[in-house]
């Protein structure tokens, strides 16, 4: 008489991933970030696009001979335009990097993450840090062209200060790209991001000085996502009175976009 086969007991953690112990930092590790960076850099079309566009804009709009002689704060007008174009490139790059999650959603990768103990805030942080690699490439490209043309002039310390502010500040639009990437289907994401960034750039005074706006539009501009960042990255060059509402604008939109990305990530991974 044969004995009954032993029953297999499956640990509860293998059935319900949410019951697993949460790893340190929610699963945020240097190894995962390195893997994500390699994946981003394989998308050569996005990398080239986010570098070429701001460089081309600077070459078209920033090299007028009169800009080299027109003084702006601690530098000249060409330097001011270079910072503006580098900012546009950085936010375009980080937003595009964040929006790549829309492709992952299409392939079902987001739902695969449901079986891992990776927390939503940790995953969003990994994606935001990864997209900064694209933003750094855009900033370095525009600044390198500025150095080679010898048109922008400002003290060496301000080159470093503005470049660092551009790079770190562009993190805001990484969160924006993630939010939109989780919100819309992949075929609509880049169209909306490109259109939104153009509106934000005009509304935040990046392409047109706010002094040329009517008073109601100037007031409205202070509430747009790019306003605070635009003012902060130009401040080392322009100098003058510092306004803490710039930082408040930046932090408020960072919280909004990051919270939106986490919310949509939770919704996306909850579907089976």
**58 to 6, 91, 93, 144: CA distances (angstroms):** 72, 15, 16, 11
* pTM across the whole model: 0.83
pLDDT tens-place string over residues 117-145: 677 778 778 888 888 888 899 999 999 99
pLDDT tens-place string over residues 151-192: 999 999 999 999 999 999 999 998 898 888 888 776 678 788
pLDDT tens-place string over residues 210-247: 888 888 888 999 999 999 999 999 999 998 889 999 99
**pLDDT attached to residue 167:** 93
- Mean pLDDT over residues 56-75, rounded? 89
**pLDDT attached to residue 13:** 46
**Bridge partners, 71 (sequence order):** 76
Residue 193 CB contacts under 8 Å (≥ 6 apart), including other chains: 95, 96, 99, 176, 177, 180
Of the pLDDT bands very low, low, confident and very high (cuts 50, 70, 90), residue 90 is very high
Only one residue has tokens 């301000």, namely: 158
Q: Which helix (H) or strand (E) holds 20?
A: none
């Amino acid at each position: 008489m044969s004995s009954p086969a032993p029953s297999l007991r499956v640990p509860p953690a293998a059935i319900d991933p949410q019951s697993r112990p949460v790893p340190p930092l929610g699963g945020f590790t240097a190894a995962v970030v390195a893997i994500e960076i390699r994946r981003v850099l394989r998308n050569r079309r996005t990398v080239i696009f986010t570098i070429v566009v701001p460089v081309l804009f600077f070459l078209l709009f920033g090299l007028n001979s009169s800009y080299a002689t027109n003084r702006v704060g601690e530098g000249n007008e060409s330097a001011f335009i270079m910072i503006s174009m580098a900012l546009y490139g950085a936010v375009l790059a980080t937003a595009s990097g964040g929006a790549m999650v829309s492709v992952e959603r299409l392939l079902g990768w987001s739902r695969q993450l449901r079986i891992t103990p990776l927390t939503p805030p940790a995953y969003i942080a990994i994606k935001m840090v990864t997209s900064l690699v694209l933003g750094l490439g855009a900033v370095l490209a525009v600044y390198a062209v500025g150095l080679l043309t010898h048109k922008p002039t400002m003290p060496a310390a301000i080159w470093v200060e503005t470049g660092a502010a551009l790079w770190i500040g562009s993190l805001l639009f990484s969160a924006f790209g993630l939010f939109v990437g989780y919100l819309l289907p992949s075929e609509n994401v880049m169209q909306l991001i490109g259109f939104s960034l153009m509106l934000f750039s005009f509304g935040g005074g990046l392409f047109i000085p706010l002094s040329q706006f009517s008073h109601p539009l100037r007031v409205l501009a202070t509430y747009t996502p790019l306003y605070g960042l635009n003012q902060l990255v130009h401040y080392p060059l322009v100098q003058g009175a510092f306004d803490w509402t710039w930082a408040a604008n930046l932090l408020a939109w960072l919280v909004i976009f990051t919270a939106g990305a986490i919310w949509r990530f939770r919704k996306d991974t909850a579907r089976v």
